[in-house]
Structure 1
Amino acid sequence: MSFSIRPVNAADHARILALNLESEEMLSPMDASRLRELDAMAAYHRVACEGNEVVAFLLAFREGVAYDSPNYVWFAQRYPRFLYVDRIVVARTHQGRKLGPLLYRDLFDFARAAGVDTVTCEFYTVPPNEASRRFHAAFGFSEVGSQWVADGRKQVSLQIAAT
């Protein structure tokens, strides 16, 4: 079956929360209230669907929003225009089926159409997230910094890519 990408709607929120929980060891926790808050600030919040089933999502922000993530703030202090990938999640049952690349190609198309030439993201290096490192390298991301987060329990690699 083929996959489609569409904007998130409120009916998707329960599934997005379930997907986020499934991968929470590599993400920030998110409850329904936080999801509504992030969705309202998002420049890009889309889902990948197989038929009517949401099987992946990507949430990203432009510069200038009141997002309190230390990683978003790091980029906001250094880059005047950017699109920040807050999180991308693919259902465990659908990993390896090219949904991450499908969403990232759509995201980069969105950024170019909006005149944004820099996409930013981060991934954990402590604990290591080798799959994310390889994935982002394939999209041309490179490290521009690093920082400790989660009260010094985790380290992230701060990354940028040109659109």
Structure 2
Amino acid sequence: MSTATVLRPATDADISHLVTLNNASVPAVPDTPADDMSELLDASSLALVAIDPAVPTDPLGFVVALEGGEDWAGENYAWFEERGLDHLYVDRIVVGEGARGRGIGQLFYDAVFDAARTAGHDVVTCEVNLNPPNPGSMRFHGRLGFSERGQQLTKGGDILVAKLAADVRDASRRRTPAAA
């Protein structure tokens, strides 16, 4: 019998698992050592892991988001900040390969949009790779109501990303019913 996936706050004890999940998803996300992951969690306003309650210490995936107006040096975050958006920025969302297709990404974004609404933000922002391409992520974000606001070459010109935003007020219509 399978158990439902549960979200819980990420902790320092999760960092090694998060680094493993993250780095298995390169190039969709940047390679991130433990010290940088710890710094990202410290800066975040929302950091959640998805777990199977039967194995609560082994995250299936994670999401990390930052409030607009923070002193964060990430070039993707800075792009949105330069445009003066009132936003909650999703810096990282990763679902482990063996956990994909279980609705975990939707659970994460439900929590992100709830947090953005609670904080009174206008939009949720993120970026998705165009080169190297990440068509699955582009389709997923499109289903959630994200639209492209621009593009940027990052990592010294090696990666082209689409800058995406979704209106927080429309987030409720993107929710899918919970699985029974």
TM-score range, shorter chain: over 0.9
CA drift of 1:88 comes to 0.4
- The residue number in structure 1 matching 2:159 is 154
Distance 1:35 1:115 in 2: 27
Q: Matched residue of 1:86: which SS?
A: strand
Provide the C-alpha distance between the structure 1 equivalents of 2:158 and 2:47, rounded to a whole number of angstroms: 28
- 1:73 aligned to which of 58, 70, 78: 78
1:64 corresponding residue in structure 2: 69
Aligned to 2:99: 94
Give matches, 1:103-122, under 5 Å. 103-122=108-127
RMSD: 1.0
Equivalence for 2:172: none
1:79 Cα offset (Å): 2.4
Structure with greater strand percent: 1
2:131 aligned residue? 126
Larger Rg: 2
CA distance in 2, matches of 1:45, 1:81: 19
Is residue 140 of structure 1 aligned with residue 145 of structure 2?
A: yes
The amino acid that maps onto 2:137 is S
Deviation at 1:146, TM superposition (A): 0.4
CA distance in 1, matches of 2:154, 2:10: 28
Residue 106 of structure 1: CA displacement?
1.1
Structure 2 unaligned residues grouped into runs of 5+: 169-180
**Aligned-partner SS, 1:38:** helix
Q: For residues 81 and 151 of structure 1, what CA distance do their matches in structure 2 show? A: 27
Q: 2:36 aligns with which of 29, 34, 37?
A: 34
Note the alpha carbon deviations across 1:58-80, whole angstroms, 9 max, x for none.
01111122221111000001124
Q: TM-score, normalised by structure 2?
A: 0.87
Q: Distance in 1 between the 2:34 and 2:99 partners?
A: 23
Q: Which runs of 5+ in 1 are unaligned?
A: none
Sequence identity percentage: 37
- For residues 147 and 10 of structure 1, the distance between their equivalents in structure 2, rounded to whole angstroms, comes to 32
Letter in 2 for 1:2: A
The more displaced of 83-92 and 60-69 is 60-69
